[in-house]
Amino acid sequence: MAAGRKSLILCLLVQHFVLLHGAKILTVCLAGGSHYLWMDKISRILHNNGHEVTMFRQTADNFLPGYRTPDSPYRVVIWSMDETSQKEFIAFFKENMKLSFMGGHDLSLLDLMAHLSSQCKMIFNQTSIINLLKEEKYDIAVIDSFNPCSFLVSEKLGIPFIATHPFALKNAWHSGIPNQLSYVPVFQTQLTDHMDFFERVKNVLMYIGSRVEESKIHSLFDDVIEEHFPAGSRPTFVELYKKTALWMYNTDFTFEFSHPFFPKCSVHWRLIGKTSKSCLTGIGRFYLPVRRARVYHCGIWLDGIFQSFH
């Protein structure tokens, strides 16, 4: 069963590329926590199926307290963030998540992306690493689409790329999935697929707002694009989304509202499924005295945030 799932995800990832002796694949992981665990799993599956895999990732993962990173059977290329920037980012993230858990506010996506755009500048300024990756002449890249910088890195290296999305269908329009606003709720609207007139108006307005927010996020990376891509061939994120060879969503469609799909879409169940484990003890300690609460799942670094509350 497990072997079948591994073969299935391998075929899904490289179905566009028929290779006799295994592909030379670059996996790009520019976010930590559960994002790293997801990309590490993909990298191991590809490596175990005979492909030459290299992961490009950041120097350390402080979102996984107490987690011992196992030895990687694949090659790892690391970019280094200076200590001051790293501490500022970790402090920003943990403080915002703490306030969010306490009911203060949700994590600002724009503020988070501002940090990621600064990190993207650091990545591109480390020209020795970029040149090293370019000289390797990879056949294809597999990227985590959460960080927009992953698209820019792949484009700079001049290799085709597959985008994996570790969340629900929040950005369905990126991959060309039809997104009928009359019955498909926009992310975070708290609507259902049965909407009256005013709820549909709200859904449309929220959709427009999400596109405006996305445009602001893209503009945060304008400096990187202008500095590191020649005039006349500077990419836009809309172009890069359309250029993606394959989109892969890590989601459970039993929790999704109905979406119409084109014939090019394929659904595969339990590709990397594991036996479920009990919730972290930290959740119980934190929510025990609370009558009403929102529960988030953000990877195993969650317990470290709970510990910082006490």
Query: What pLDDT was estimated at residue 236?
Result: 94
DSSP 58-78: ES--TTSTT--PPPPSSEEEE
| Residue 107: closest CA among 27, 172, 33 | 33
Beta-bridged to residue 163, according to DSSP, are 143, 247
Instruction: Please name the amino acid found at residue 145.
Output: S
Distances in whole angstroms, Cα of residue 186 to Cα of each of 106, 204, 250, 265, 295: 17, 8, 18, 20, 20
Is there a contact between 129 and 228 (Cβ–Cβ < 8 Å)? no
The structure's pTM equals 0.78
Is there a contact between 218 and 235 (Cβ–Cβ < 8 Å)? no
Q: What is the dihedral of CA 232, 237, 238, 243, to 10 degrees?
A: 80
Sheet bearing 75-79, strands edge to edge: 75-79, 52-58, 24-29, 140-144, 161-165, 246-249
Q: Supply angle C-alpha 198, 201, 205, rounded to 5.
A: 140
Is there a contact between 221 and 120 (Cβ–Cβ < 8 Å)? yes
Tokens of 118: 């600064």
Instruction: Please name the amino acid found at residue 199.
Output: E
Question: Beta-carbon neighbour count of residue 255 at 10 Å?
Answer: 7
Query: What pLDDT was estimated at residue 96?
Result: 76
Query: What pLDDT was estimated at residue 27?
Result: 96
Looking only at the bridges linking them, the beta strands covering 140-144 and 161-165 are parallel
| Residue 63: closest CA among 105, 35, 28 | 35
CA distance linking residue 23 with residue 163, whole number of Å: 17
Question: Beta-carbon neighbour count of residue 126 at 10 Å?
Answer: 13
Query: What pLDDT was estimated at residue 254?
Result: 60
Query: What pLDDT was estimated at residue 287?
Result: 45
Tens digit of each residue's pLDDT, the chain (310 residues) = 555 555 555 555 555 454 445 789 999 999 877 788 889 999 999 999 899 999 999 875 556 666 677 788 999 999 888 878 888 888 887 777 777 666 555 567 888 899 999 999 999 999 999 999 999 999 999 999 989 999 999 999 999 999 988 766 556 656 667 778 888 888 778 888 889 999 999 999 998 998 898 899 999 999 999 999 999 899 999 999 989 998 887 766 666 666 666 666 776 655 555 555 555 554 444 444 444 444 444 444 444 444 544 4
Query: What pLDDT was estimated at residue 168?
Result: 60
Per the document, the length of the chain is 310
| Residue 304: closest CA among 33, 29, 30 | 33
